[in-house]
């Protein structure tokens, strides 16, 4: 049976096209490097800041938050090859100046990197 066809052979027709806010955006990978941001106008007149490159993370230590430098990306849960490309994403284990840390937010959506310490050096 052909895709998009009824059992009688008739076609299913779309009710309407996708609206502008329903379209998928281009993937914007966040990589390791000198911090670089971009802002977008989004639905409702709001502004969204996204990261393109970053080398600083907000690291949570007990009840304090400290800015630390990112040295390297150790591993990524989605794909091992993404760590080789130094891609920063949620769940990635990064090597910082204070030790290994895990990224807890989505940098491509929020414009900053938040992390918690996993292993101290």
At 60-95, the pLDDT tens digits run 988 899 999 999 999 998 888 999 999 999 999 999
- Which pLDDT score is estimated for 2? 67
Question: What is the predicted pLDDT for the residue at 62?
Answer: 85
92 and 29 in contact (C-beta within 8 Å)?
A: no
Domains of the chain: 20-120 (3.10.290.70)
In the numeric block, which tokens belong to residue 8? 């009688």
**How do the residues of the chain divide into helix, strand and coil, expressed in percent and rounded to 5?**
10, 45, 45
Residue pointed to by tokens 């969204």: 48
Instruction: In whole angstroms, give the CA distance from residue 16 to residue 109.
Output: 28
- Return the pLDDT at 43: 79
Residue 1 has pLDDT above 60, yes or no: no
Beta bridge mates, 60: 65, 116
Residue 64 C-beta-side C-alpha neighbours within 13 Å: 4
DSSP structural state of residue 24: P
The Cα–Cα gap between 14 and 87 comes to 38
Pairing of strands 114-120, 47-54: unpaired
């Amino acid at each position: 049976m052909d895709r998009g066809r009824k059992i009688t052979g008739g076609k299913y027709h779309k009710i309407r096209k996708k609206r502008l806010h329903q379209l998928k955006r281009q993937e914007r990978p966040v990589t390791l490097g000198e911090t670089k941001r971009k802002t977008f106008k989004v639905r409702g007149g709001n502004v969204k800041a996204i990261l393109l490159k970053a080398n600083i993370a907000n690291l949570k230590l007990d009840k304090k938050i400290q800015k630390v430098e990112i040295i390297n990306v150790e591993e990524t849960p989605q794909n091992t090859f993404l760590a080789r490309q130094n891609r920063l994403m949620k769940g990635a284990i990064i090597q910082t100046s204070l030790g290994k840390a895990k990224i807890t937010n989505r940098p491509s959506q929020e414009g900053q990197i938040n992390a918690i310490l996993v292993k101290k050096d």
